[in-house]
Amino acid sequence: MSETVADGIAGYVVGQRFAELPPAVIESAKAAILDTIAVALAASREPIGRKIIRYVQTATSGGPGLILGSTVQAPFEQAAMANGTLAHAMDFDDRGHASTHILGTAVALAGRAALSGEELIVAYVVGREVRMQLDELFDRGRFKGAGRGPGGHGWHATGTWGAFGSTATAAKLLQLDELETANAMGIAASLASGVIANFGTMTKSMHAGNAARNGVLSALLASDGWDAERDIFSAERGITQAMTGGQGEWDVNALVHRLHDEFHITDSSWALRIKPYPSCTGSHAYIEAARALLDRRSIDISEVEEIVIPTSPSLNRHYPENALQTKFSGGFCVVATLITGTVSMETCTEEFLHRADVQRLMRVVKYVKGGDEKLVVRMRSGELFEEPFPPVRDLDTAEERMAKFFSLTEPILGTASSQDLADGVAKLEAVGDVRQLIDLTRAST
């Protein structure tokens, strides 16, 4: 048969070499890996983290798969599921969420045999590139109206296209050949899942965990000769038709060209972007607007009569009832920022949510469907403050990123181990066995 899209992806995955990666790609990959380790480690002490680790521990009898921030080990699939869930549990991972399931996959498989830092970087890059190029092709702007893409039908790219990214990473680490890798892509197509309606629940983080699990499972089965439809992207009733409802024209062959023509992690407008706030990306414009307003004037929150903001398709928890839902509430993020100046780990808690001043302001939040992208604050005096939504910001400097890393890891690991971990990732390409770095994340357990 002629070469399929899955064959083209497989050729890219199998052929990628560390020596061919540009320095900027390597540095971006290391930055993403460091950030993901930090957010996963912090999440291991949160309710979601404790639950997923407890599930894996009770549901299995152990295994070689490694889990970030925990001495618990499990079969590779379950360890990958735990890692992916941990990395996405706080919605503090980098935008696009590709790192969650890709690094989750790699860490789990690091328990199989000695994995060098160079091998980890290559496996991370191929997984991220496959995942994010699928996003670019099918799901860019999935929250801008209903659309014909998978997001418009309710599919969450982290769970769906994430399965293919994780499969690419697992295939690279398991040293699958091109036929095996193509078959693994076909297997992943029947496992990919995740729906947007679950935003604001623990299950959203499972989209990343399940993507990691599905990637490992697909690659392991393919390594033993398990086959699948190799034309899965173009076939009648294949993944493209299933995810899009058969609507629109999708040039899936463009995916292979993009993989060979650019590195999404450095070359695209949606390259690596490290989050400054532990909440859904859709909420960040609300936070920035409130911060901009506070920069211009002092707001007496006791005199606020009404807060008017537009709705957003990615923020489905207008009036949150628990700490997790706060991350998907534009109103809460505005209220938290007006009170404290930002949204942080400390504001996304049950204690903060149920404070009297927070609840009073939440009661005066009004949502406007289809309204202008701006924040309006009306005072009891009748004074009206308006602030247009500015562009969201990212942590672009090494200093900002390291500050985030240490703020998340030092309370758990202490200063010395946190520094050792940061130093190890900074020199990742020189590390002979990444298990020594993963062991550092387990130091306090």
CATH number of the domain within which 155 lies: 1.10.4100.10
Same domain, 433 and 307: no
Q: What angle do CA 94, 157, 366 make, to 5 degrees?
A: 75
Same domain, 45 and 179: yes
pLDDT, position 445: 54
pLDDT, position 144: 55
pLDDT, position 367: 97
Half-sphere exposure of 388 (CA within 13 A, CB side): 3
> Is residue 164 a part of any domain in this protein?
yes
Closest CA to 355 of 332, 385, 387: 332
Closest CA to 52 of 163, 206, 217, 197: 206
pLDDT, position 251: 85
> Is residue 233 a part of any domain in this protein?
yes
> Is residue 258 a part of any domain in this protein?
yes
The residue that leads in pLDDT, 395 or 249, is: 395
Same domain, 299 and 191: no
Same domain, 206 and 267: yes
CA distances 345 to 216, 276, 291, 323, 423, Å, are 31, 11, 17, 10, 25
DSSP state, residue 192: -
pLDDT, position 141: 58
Range of 362's domain?
281-388
> Is residue 394 a part of any domain in this protein?
no
The arithmetic mean of pLDDT across residues 29-58, rounded, is: 97
Same domain, 285 and 269: no
pLDDT, position 361: 98
User: What pTM did the predictor assign?
Assistant: 0.95
pLDDT single digits (tens) 341-394: 999 999 999 999 999 999 999 999 999 998 789 999 999 999 999 999 999 999
Same domain, 240 and 322: no
> Is residue 393 a part of any domain in this protein?
no
Please check the confidence at residue 148 and state whether its pLDDT lies above 70: no
Please check the confidence at residue 322 and state whether its pLDDT lies above 90: yes
Closest CA to 68 of 52, 86, 54, 90: 86
pLDDT single digits (tens) 251-260: 888 999 999 9
Please check the confidence at residue 297 and state whether its pLDDT lies above 60: yes
Same domain, 418 and 381: no
Same domain, 251 and 297: no
Same domain, 68 and 188: yes
The arithmetic mean of pLDDT across residues 170-196, rounded, is: 97
What's 294's domain CATH number? Answer: 3.30.1330.120
pLDDT, position 153: 84
The arithmetic mean of pLDDT across residues 162-172, rounded, is: 98
> Is residue 219 a part of any domain in this protein?
yes
pLDDT single digits (tens) 17-43: 999 999 999 999 999 999 999 999 999
Average pLDDT, rounded, for the chain: 94
Same domain, 351 and 232: no
Same domain, 208 and 337: no
- Into how many domains does the chain fold? 2
Same domain, 215 and 316: no
pLDDT, position 149: 80
